[in-house]
Structure 1
Amino acid sequence: ATNWAPNSPPDNFTIYAEVVAHVVMHYELGWPGMSGQIFNFDYIEIGNEPNLPAFWNGSKQEFLQLYSTVSQRLKTIGGSFKIGGPGLADINFSDWTTSFLGHVNGLGLPLDFFSWHAYWNQPAQVVGVIETGTTLLTNHGFGHIDRVFDEYGLDLLSDTEWGTMTAALHITHVLVSAAHHGIDVACFGFAKDVPIHPSVTTIFGDEANFGLLTRNPTTPKPTFHALKPFAAIMGQSIVNSTLVPSPTLFPMPVPPSVLATQGPGQHNYTILIANHGSRSTTTHITLHNAPAGTFIISTRILSSAGLQQYGDWTPPSTTTDTTISITCPPNAIIWINIHHLGPLLSPLEFTTLQTQVILRHPTPRFDK
């Protein structure tokens, strides 16, 4: 394209789709005599926030044409990857989502996953965007495809908060919501703080502080530590959850978010409690119809009162009581392991001081 800019539509959509296809083939299928790595992509996303002029200065119709042409060409490659998009920002989200899904449905285009983003300081606002996305997918007949929430976090204008316990609690609330709503993939956008070239003037100064790690020296932030329990429960079944309410029901103080997963063999459970409030909160965990036996419990806490990283596991305590009360300090996340010397007969049930949500049957695994 003449005087082409990265956010502008290509002059020729067919040629552009052919270029994209050959780039994918290069990394997905390899080439004769290659010595490099075959990537075996899981997902190929077409688009990044096309509903924002900074990333797409063409019309909505032009983007829909781009998706049509590229997705159909990629489908002919025959790889195992999934095709989707469009990575929408949460501005004019419902309007763009409705147009995009209607276009895909009307033409029978490939759409193996739908992706969207949200950056808000209040976790309940991010939860609201997750809820809106999943509802729109179901209403348009796409409830069966993968749901990819591939960017989330605090407001980008709040970059000084991204390295604090506020951001760690935010991540935990969002991922509990993602698990509750069946999100297949949730991606944190920044692994490391980003240096900004001196010639570029931005609102962030010399460095954007969005990463899980500082840049120099490389030091983990509370957000890095907040992801550790989610890594530990990959592949486990979700047996219960409570959520920060949606914005229209947002009370003060903020109730805790709770997630429980069941490990292999029905003997081991992991529980996360994120208390975003300024006061301690107590969560009562009731193990209904549990057979007689001993429960072994151990906890660790991530809070601003300590080193802002998870402390050591507490020495295991034992109880035969089927109701366990856990007090979580203010602005903290508590990570609990419960081991039962014998299988439980039913899912865990949670009752918190403000909220009660019961999931009677395990949901699909918490995968990515």
Structure 2
Amino acid sequence: MIRVPAEPVGPFSDAWRRCVGTGRAELALRRDFQDSLRIVQREIGFDLIRGHGLFSDGMGVVRPYDQAGLRGVQHNFTYLDQVIDAYLEAGIRPFLELGFMPEELASGTQTVFWWKGNITPPRSHQDWADLVRATLTHLVDRHGLDEVRTWPIEVWNEPNLDIFWQDADEKAYHHLYEVTAHAVKEVDASLQVGGPAISPGADEWLPRFTEFTDRHDVPLDFVSRHAYTSGPAQRVPFSSYQTLAPASGLLDQFATPRRQLQGTRYAGLPVHITEFNSSYCPDNLIHDTAFNAAYLAPVLAHGGELADSFSYWTFSDMFEEAGVPTALFHGGFGLLTHRQIRKPTFHLYAFLSRTGPDLLALGDHHLVTRHPDGRVTALAWAPVDPTGETPGPDRHEVHLSIPLAGTEAFVRRSTVDETHGNAYTAWRAMGSPRSPKQGQLDMLHEASQPSRTHDRLPLADGRADLRLTLARNEITLVELSPVVDESFAWWDETRLLGRDPR
């Protein structure tokens, strides 16, 4: 039995909800995207949202013109305004990633993704700086400086990979960052700018990047990187399979930037993990499973000790890097499928949203918090085997002694596992329909709801004896609150059928 302390050991970090990822910016113009974002914000409530393609041609920010032989560009913010408005109306702010290169400014034709984001440097860095200044000036004029100051601004995405930055040219990225950071600060010195948004396996980039910014006195307000634990992709049509390292590998990656910045002038900078997940492939079915939720539970519980934010990639399957998905469940990154069906990992975040600010206990498989009104929450998760060599344990016991005021506790338990709160399992059972009919969608929405039980538990010496048995790949949230019995003295459940026991 684990005896949970009566007094908090500190605050429970909310870094897990600081940011969430999304597909390319223009997807925010679609109904499915906006419907999904409203659900995520209502049931979880993220602070910031980050995605690619803010300057890609689909957003139409750079519009060339030729009038009487005079060629130029018009900076056009029609779609940008609609995207930002959709975010703000949903109660979330943008984490601005500046990229990719508008074709009119690009030095080459190399692109990435089905939607062809241009990944080449600008022909003219002056034209690129003009675009950055014009965009941020417009946003400040429209939303106010105090608001835009809260929007971090990240320069590019994974420039260490040649699929995202031509030839993975580090020197060229340093130059792009320098030009961009100065352009940002010309709009207002208090705007937050950072990078280098590197992928896993490129740790050597960060020290060289900060050495460059230090040596050339280039503004740097935060550093960013990404974190995944999957191995090389084994491709099949419309899907990928990958090995996984233990989830602790994600925490190691979260911790790396602060370790690298120790002893430098940047030691106190915020660290943002602007993408993380188990797999980096947008078509790996692991994302749709209860395994993924149990695998990531310790990462969300412990990650706030290591980074200022870590952004789940992504909130919705409205995501088309590999093309339009071919099935409802297809291994997309999202917490929600198309049509807003909740995945098990969605519920992991929803459970965390019901935890309190005071941390009472945090272990390998449990998190206990308290709310200001005295309510206590206990989140527990089953251990998993990331190698796939075993299915993981059938049962996992968690025994907690939890402090609580009063003589009895109202106990609500919400559970997600292989059969509860798991629409993927139901979808597989119904034959994996690629385009489910309305009745099937209704059943999948029903299957996606966690199982919930309610009980009343006696307290002894101000403590609840909580014994939990978790099934394979289960995550469970137990909420305990003191019972204040307001029953009328004459209520008698033994008389519900009208029989007088006298």
TM-score, length-normalised on structure 1? Answer: 0.74
Q: Structure 1, residues 29-72: CA drift from partner, whole Å, max 9, x if none?
A: 229xx9xxx86652111121111111112521111121112112
Where in structure 2 are the equivalents of 1:328-339 lying within 5 Å? Answer: 328-339=470-481
Where in structure 2 are the equivalents of 1:87-166 lying within 5 Å? Answer: 87-92=197-202, 94-120=203-229, 121-122=244-245, 123-157=247-281, 159-166=284-291
More helix by share: 2
Partner of 1:285, secondary structure, is strand
**What RMSD in Å do the two structures reach over aligned CA positions?**
3.3
Unaligned runs of 5+ in 2: 1-105, 111-117, 230-243, 385-391, 423-448, 484-502
| Counterpart Cα distance in 2 of 1:80 and 1:108 | 16
| Residue in structure 1 matched with residue 172 of structure 2 by the alignment | 62
One-letter identity of the residue aligned with 2:362: S
Q: Which has the higher contact order (CA 8 A, sep 6+)?
A: 2
Match of 2:303 among 148, 172, 178: 178
TM-score, length-normalised on structure 2? Answer: 0.55
Partner of 1:144, secondary structure, is coil
- 1:126 deviates by 1.4
| Counterpart Cα distance in 1 of 2:191 and 2:453 | 40
Larger radius of gyration between Structure 1 and Structure 2:
2
| Residue in structure 2 matched with residue 228 of structure 1 by the alignment | 350
| Counterpart Cα distance in 2 of 1:180 and 1:297 | 29
CA contact (8 A) 1:296 1:339 kept: yes
| Counterpart Cα distance in 1 of 2:267 and 2:215 | 16
Match of 1:273 among 365, 380, 397: 380
Partner of 2:249, secondary structure, is helix
CA contact (8 A) 2:399 2:467 kept: yes
Partner of 1:232, secondary structure, is coil
The sequence identity of aligned pairs, in percent, is 20
| Counterpart Cα distance in 1 of 2:287 and 2:370 | 31
CA contact (8 A) 1:300 1:314 kept: no
Q: Structure 1, residues 125-183: CA drift from partner, whole Å, max 9, x if none?
A: 212211223322335343422221221112234611111111222332321231232x2
| Counterpart Cα distance in 2 of 1:141 and 1:317 | 53
- CA pair 299-291 structure 1, distance change in 2 beyond 3 A: closer
| Counterpart Cα distance in 2 of 1:295 and 1:130 | 38
Unaligned runs of 5+ in 1: 244-255, 342-368
- 1:20 deviates by 1.2
| Counterpart Cα distance in 1 of 2:271 and 2:310 | 9
Is structure 2 residue 333 aligned with structure 1 residue 210?
Answer: yes
Partner of 1:162, secondary structure, is helix
- CA pair 316-20 structure 1, distance change in 2 beyond 3 A: farther
CA contact (8 A) 2:272 2:309 kept: yes
CA contact (8 A) 1:260 1:271 kept: yes
| Residue in structure 2 matched with residue 285 of structure 1 by the alignment | 400
One-letter identity of the residue aligned with 2:108: N
- CA pair 269-82 structure 1, distance change in 2 beyond 3 A: farther
One-letter identity of the residue aligned with 2:139: Y
CA contact (8 A) 1:292 1:320 kept: no
Match of 1:303 among 417, 421, 436: 417
Match of 2:187 among 77, 99, 104: 77
| Residue in structure 1 matched with residue 372 of structure 2 by the alignment | 264
Q: Structure 1, residues 90-119: CA drift from partner, whole Å, max 9, x if none?
A: 122x20111112222333432222221112
Partner of 2:380, secondary structure, is strand
| Residue in structure 2 matched with residue 315 of structure 1 by the alignment | 455
| Residue in structure 2 matched with residue 167 of structure 1 by the alignment | 292
| Counterpart Cα distance in 1 of 2:359 and 2:196 | 28
| Residue in structure 1 matched with residue 138 of structure 2 by the alignment | 26
